[in-house]
């Protein structure tokens, strides 16, 4: 294969994780390359709901709650830098978010779950208000008669995730980095110094490599002594036509975009690599949305889609540097919108420094070996929807 370039850092995967890491490394300019697979790919980055969500996360791993809060806190900086550098407004709004409960029993379960979460040893507590129906209706006018209440967290928010992806790419390219679409990495060969990446368009040498290939990480990680046991988890989303603004803040499953369209999300199913929509799932999501906001019954459905989440067995991310091939890093998670700022401002600097900060220790893939040997972590580190 012909040599197609030599770089200080190669980031494999230009979805939300790879793009955020590359953005955080953009001061490398032309010494940075971002590689992607082309239009054949499964891309969670183009299929997601756009929430920046804190409440409910971290059951079984308080460090994940800390990581999530840190990212939410750094999001305004990210949105401002992207606007300044690219002119793209990613429509960040962090007015807080609501988890809506449709019955007293649902609300009880929600309160119990959040109590258990926040009373874990070492949990970084944050404020979550329990709202009864009347309090909830003040924040979300128009809720239906079945709504019993909900929980409100001031740290939650949302953005336009497609503009986010676009802006991360634009800022990175503008800084002089190379973006090579249609460069699927088939093999990573560690050398005494650095790595050689084989692609159908030639090989690429890099001193350091970041595996941010989403579902592709499962195959790539073992090539550099890492583990990324990720698999697909399907989520479906419905888009309604633009309606007059009625939602001042996002809920966990219904949000109004900056343009006025309404997104209803998002199911969660094990369906392998099937990314087709199932009408029974769409119908169930729509039915629940109508119980929350009956007025949506008058809005037309514009489209619906299904996407594949990048999911580890316990739902938590993997961040790690290879012990046997230093300079190879993996980053994989299933809340890539929420965590974009952490990837840009904490993970990327660790890569640049060649470091494995203490911060990343809880996220090492060795935890899955421990689970296999009979000391499992609490499964499903996040609430079911995200
Ligand atoms: C329905 C749904 C709703 C979601 N809602 C939210 C939400 O509200 N908030 C939130 O924070 N997160 C949400 N997510 C999750 C979020 O979208 C993902 O965490 C994020 O997109 C993962 O980014 P990624 O870069 O790891 O993977 P992807 O976006 O899948 O990107 C991986 C990229 O790697 C490339 N690639 C793969 N293999 C190779 C290879 N060998 N060589 C080169 N390139 C390769 C692919 O082409 C692809 O572009 C949602 C996801 C889904 C599916």
What pLDDT digit, counting tens, does each position of 318-357 carry? 999 999 999 999 999 989 999 999 999 999 999 999 988 8
Query: What is the reported pLDDT for 34?
Result: 98
Atom of ligand 1 nearest to the CA of 13: 34
- pTM, entire model: 0.94
The structure tokens 């609430």 sit at 383
Pairing of strands 202-211, 3-12: parallel
For residue 149, report the distance from its CA to the centre of ligand 1, in Å: 32
Distance from C-alpha of 365 to C-alpha of 373, rounded to nearest angstrom? 14
Q: Which residues lie with the beta carbon below 6 Å from any ligand 1 atom?
A: 12-18, 35-37, 41-45, 47-51, 53, 184-185, 212-214, 216, 220, 235, 237, 265-266, 307-310, 332-338, 386
pLDDT at res. 277: 84
Ligand 1 mean position to 220 CA, how many Å? 15
CA–CA separation, 358 vs 318, rounded Å?
14
If we measure between CA atoms, which residue out of 339, 342, 332 comes closest to residue 365? Answer: 332
**Predicted local distance difference test score (pLDDT) of residue 79:** 98
Specify the ligand 1 atom closest to the Cα of 43: 30
Best of 38, 50, 213, 274 to mutate for ligand 1, by most ligand atoms within 8 A of CB?
A: 213
Q: Quick one: CA dihedral 12, 16, 17, 18, positive or negative?
A: positive
State both tokens at 114. Answer: 């959040």
Choose which residue among 169, 214, 382 to substitute to test ligand 1 binding: the one with the highest number of ligand atoms within 8 A of its C-beta. Answer: 214
Q: Which residue has the tokens 């007059």?
A: 244
- Which residue ranges of the chain lie beneath pLDDT 50? 1-3, 375-386
Q: Decide if 382 contacts 59 (C-beta within 8 A).
A: yes
pLDDT at residue 42, as a whole number: 66
Predicted local confidence at residue 284, as pLDDT: 93
Vertex 350: Cα angle to 21 and 32 (nearest 5): 45
Cα(259) to centroid of ligand 1, in Å? 23
Residue with tokens 């969500």: 53
Q: What is the Å distance from ligand 1's center to 309 Cα? A: 7
pLDDT of residue 267: 80
C-beta atoms surrounding 89 within 10 Å: 14
Provide the residue count of the chain.
386
Residue nearest ligand 1's atom 38 by CA: 216
Q: How far is the CA of 311 from the centre of ligand 1 (A)?
A: 10
Cβ atoms 155, 35 nearer than 8 A: no
Following DSSP, what letter does each residue of 244-280 receive, concatenated?
A: ----SS-BSSEEE-TTS-EEE----B--TT-----HH
User: 252 vs 9, 203, 380, CA distance in Å?
Assistant: 36, 43, 17
**For 24-82, what is each residue's pLDDT tens digit?**
999 999 999 999 997 766 676 678 899 999 999 999 999 999 999 999 999 999 999 99
Q: What is the pLDDT of residue 357?
A: 81
Ligand 1 centroid to Cα of residue 223, in Å, is 21
Which residues, listed in sequence order, are joined to residue 151 by a DSSP beta bridge? 99, 130
135 Cα to the center of ligand 1, angstroms: 36
Element spanning 136, H or E = helix 133-139
């Amino acid at each position: 294969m012909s040599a197609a370039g030599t770089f200080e850092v190669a980031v494999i995967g230009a979805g939300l994780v790879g793009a955020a890491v590359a953005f955080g490394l953009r001061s490398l300019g032309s010494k940075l390359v971002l590689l992607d697979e082309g239009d054949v790919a499964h891309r969670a980055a183009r299929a997601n709901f756009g929430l920046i969500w804190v409440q409910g996360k971290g059951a079984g791993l308080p460090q994940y709650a800390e990581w999530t809060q840190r990212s939410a806190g750094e999001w305004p900086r990210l949105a401002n830098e992207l606007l300044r550098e690219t002119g793209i407004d990613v429509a960040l709004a962090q007015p807080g978010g609501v988890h809506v409960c449709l019955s007293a029993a649902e609300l009880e379960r929600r309160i119990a779950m959040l109590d258990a979460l926040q009373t874990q040893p070492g949990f970084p507590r944050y404020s979550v208000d329990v709202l009864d129906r009347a309090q909830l209706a003040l924040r979300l006018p128009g809720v239906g008669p079945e709504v019993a209440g909900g929980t409100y967290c001031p740290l939650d928010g949302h953005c336009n995730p497609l503009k986010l992806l676009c802006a991360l790419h634009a800022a990175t390219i503008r800084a002089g980095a190379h973006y090579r679409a249609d460069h699927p990495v088939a093999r990573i060969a560690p050398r005494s110094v650095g790595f050689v990446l084989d692609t159908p368009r030639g090989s690429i040498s890099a001193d350091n490599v970041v595996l941010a290939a989403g579902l592709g990480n499962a195959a790539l990680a073992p090539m550099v002594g890492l583990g990324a046991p990720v698999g697909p988890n399907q989520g479906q989303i419905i888009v309604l036509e633009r309606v007059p603004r009625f939602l001042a803040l996002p809920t966990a499953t219904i949000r109004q975009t900056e343009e006025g369209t309404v997104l209803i999300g998002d199911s969660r199913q094990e369906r392998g690599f099937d990314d087709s929509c199932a009408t029974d799932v769409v119908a169930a999501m729509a039915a629940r949305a109508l119980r929350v906001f009956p007025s949506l019954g008058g809005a037309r459905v514009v489209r619906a889609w299904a996407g594949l989440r990048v999911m580890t067995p316990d739902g938590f991310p993997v961040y790690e540097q290879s012990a046997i091939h230093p300079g190879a890093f993996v980053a994989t998670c299933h809340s890539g919108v929420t965590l974009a700022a952490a990837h840009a401002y904490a993970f990327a600097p660790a890569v640049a420094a060649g470091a494995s900060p203490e911060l990343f220790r809880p996220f090492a893939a060795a935890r899955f070996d421990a689970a296999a040997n009979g000391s499992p972590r609490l499964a499903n580190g996040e609430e079911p929807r995200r």
